[in-house]
Amino acid sequence: MATKVTPISGFQEWLPADRIAEQIVLDTIREVFELHGFASINTRAMETVERLAGQGEDADKEIYGIRRLADPSGAAELGLHFDLTVPFARYVLENAGKLTFPFRRYQIQPAWRGERPQRGRYREFLQADIDIIDVGSLPDHYEAELLLVVADVFARLPIGDYRIHVNDRKICEGFYRGLGIEDVIGTLRVVDKLDKIGADGVRKLLLEAGCTDEQATQCLALAEISTADTGFVDQVRALGVTHELLDEGLAKLAAIIEVANEHAPGVVVADLRIARGLDYYTGTVYETMLEREPGYGSICSGGRYDALATDGKRTFPGVGISIGVSRLLGKLITEEGLTASRETPVAVLVAVNDEESRRDSMRVATALRSRGIPTLVAPKAAKFGKQIQFADRRGIPFVWFTGAGADEKGDQVKDLRSGDQVSADSGSWAPPEADLRPSLVLPESDAT
């Protein structure tokens, strides 16, 4: 009996060429992370619901609870992690005695959120995180360093113009306290909704939360400040609010902007509306927008957390930033047509003259693979035209002919794009470096 296949929304499943494009992006991210000295770890998919809950941004509502079908009435004690920072903090606590601090880790894994699937937001999604965590205290310079790592990643990918928007929660907290606002976290959450509900909506919520009209006006004025240099400091001072925490936050953010502008000019902007919805952030926060469509949402975000990992005796402050791989590729692949130059990693198809000589073709393939050349032996000893067609449809650039199949001239290899065919030896021939692996291809452009 036939079973109807019903799609499930909120998941990305790529066709082969797009999957290769995703892998190229992931390999690029991994390479850059390692160039900057980050070590890879992997954490389990599940955490206790107690650890996951209460982190803000409606996390409690979005957690996928895990329970056995055989126990339908039992409450879920475990849940799928909704980001990689919370499980990383737990990992550090469990392995603190075995880690060398400051510990620099990268992690590329899926996460899950039980929210309504929509453009750029998925139930299951890939994140690529880096974090630096230490014992007791963490120097501020790491907060600028993470921006440079992200800039290095994006410089190697065809993502177009982007900006990393940076703020420091201490600026907001000090400003709010200077205004006499006591519910700092609640105010941060409200202001963080600016892009979703606009200034009028935020003002209404602030007034409903107990702010005076003057306090609401000042909160919105702070959130409107955005500069590509340290000019934001004078603009904040001009608002006339004072608090020592505000001074600390302004100094830290100014230092970050100065470092970023020296090493990655034009990439970072100080944006005082950025707050981040997760409650564990305590200092610098980041969000990254594509210049061509800021409304698409952040493709890379994170921040500093000082108290997320603590065993009661020691605290492990950290700072991290996460590239939303699925969100980014949802834009680049699904909407803008980024793909790979071929749907297979194969660079060479070895033709088969007849089934009796298949072993000759297999020997050639083995020799090429031993030197790192992705190679496939033709599945059938069909006419050479059909074998060439088999390769061409998959984007395989070269076809190898052995012995008799090369008109008794010895082994030959044919470039299907130019039509050139030359004699070759399986022990020494290699394709051009650009053809060895698939590359990223943008619509209306050549391979990048």
DSSP codes of every residue in 15-65: -HHHHHHHHHHHHHHHHHHHHTTPEE----SEEEHHHHSSSBTTHHHH--E
Digit-by-digit pLDDT tens for the chain (448 residues) are 677 888 889 999 999 999 999 999 999 999 999 999 999 999 999 999 988 886 655 556 789 988 888 777 777 889 999 999 999 999 999 999 999 999 999 999 999 998 888 988 999 999 999 999 999 999 999 999 999 999 999 999 999 999 999 999 999 999 999 999 989 888 988 888 888 899 999 999 999 999 999 999 999 999 999 999 999 999 999 999 999 999 999 999 999 999 999 999 999 999 999 887 677 888 999 999 999 999 898 999 999 999 888 888 899 999 999 999 999 999 999 999 999 999 999 999 999 999 999 999 999 999 999 999 999 999 999 999 999 999 999 999 999 999 854 455 689 999 999 999 999 999 999 999 999 999 999 887 444 4
Is 145 found in the same domain as 276? Answer: no
Token pair 């603590």 is found at 310
Query: Which helix (DSSP H) or strand (DSSP E) does residue 126 occupy?
Result: strand 124-133
CA distance 377 to 286: 49
CA 200-120-148 angle, 5° bins: 90
Q: Is the dihedral of CA 189, 195, 196, 197 positive or negative?
A: positive
Contact 81, 46 (CB under 8 A): yes
In the chain, what is the straight-line distance between the N-terminal and C-terminal CA atoms, in Å? 47
Residue 4 counted as domain residue = no
Is 199 found in the same domain as 170? Answer: yes
Q: What is the pLDDT of residue 288?
A: 97
Residue 131 counted as domain residue = yes
Q: Known binder of ligand: residue 84?
A: yes
The pTM of this model reads 0.90
Q: What is the pLDDT of residue 276?
A: 76
Is 153 found in the same domain as 222? Answer: no
Is 425 found in the same domain as 355? Answer: yes
Q: Known binder of ligand: residue 281?
A: yes
CA distance 192 to 202: 9
Is 96 found in the same domain as 207? Answer: no
Residue 1 counted as domain residue = no
Residue 446 counted as domain residue = no
Residue 49 counted as domain residue = yes
Residue 307 counted as domain residue = no
CA distance 163 to 268: 6
- Largest alpha-carbon pair distance within the chain? 91
Q: Known binder of ligand: residue 113?
A: yes
Q: Known binder of ligand: residue 437?
A: no
Cβ atoms within 10 Å, residue 72: 7
Q: Known binder of ligand: residue 280?
A: yes
Q: What is the pLDDT of residue 446?
A: 44
Token pair 């499943």 is found at 13
Is 178 found in the same domain as 52? Answer: no
Is 95 found in the same domain as 77? Answer: yes
Q: What is the CATH number of the domain that holds 278?
A: 3.30.930.10
Q: Which two tokens stand for residue 100?
A: 């060398």
Nearest partner of 293 among 168, 119, 76, 151, judged by Cα:
119
Q: What is the pLDDT of residues 112-122, one digit of tens each?
A: 998 888 988 99
Q: Known binder of ligand: residue 276?
A: yes
Exposure pattern of 5-25 as b/e (b: 16+ CB <10 Å)? eeeeebebebeebbbbbbebb
Q: Known binder of ligand: residue 67?
A: no
Contact 130, 146 (CB under 8 A): yes
Q: What is the pLDDT of residues 246-267, one digit of tens each?
A: 999 999 999 999 999 999 999 9
Q: Known binder of ligand: residue 35?
A: no
Helices (H), 96-140: none
Is 120 found in the same domain as 18? Answer: yes
Q: Give me the number of domains the chain comprises.
A: 3
Residue 194 counted as domain residue = yes
* Residue range of the domain that includes 257: 160-298
Is 252 found in the same domain as 280? Answer: yes
Is 114 found in the same domain as 20? Answer: yes
Q: What is the pLDDT of residue 380?
A: 95
Q: Known binder of ligand: residue 127?
A: yes
CA distance 405 to 284: 65
Is 289 found in the same domain as 330? Answer: no
Residue 183 counted as domain residue = yes
Is 280 found in the same domain as 417? Answer: no
Cβ atoms within 10 Å, residue 71: 8
Q: What is the CATH number of the domain that holds 400?
A: 3.40.50.800
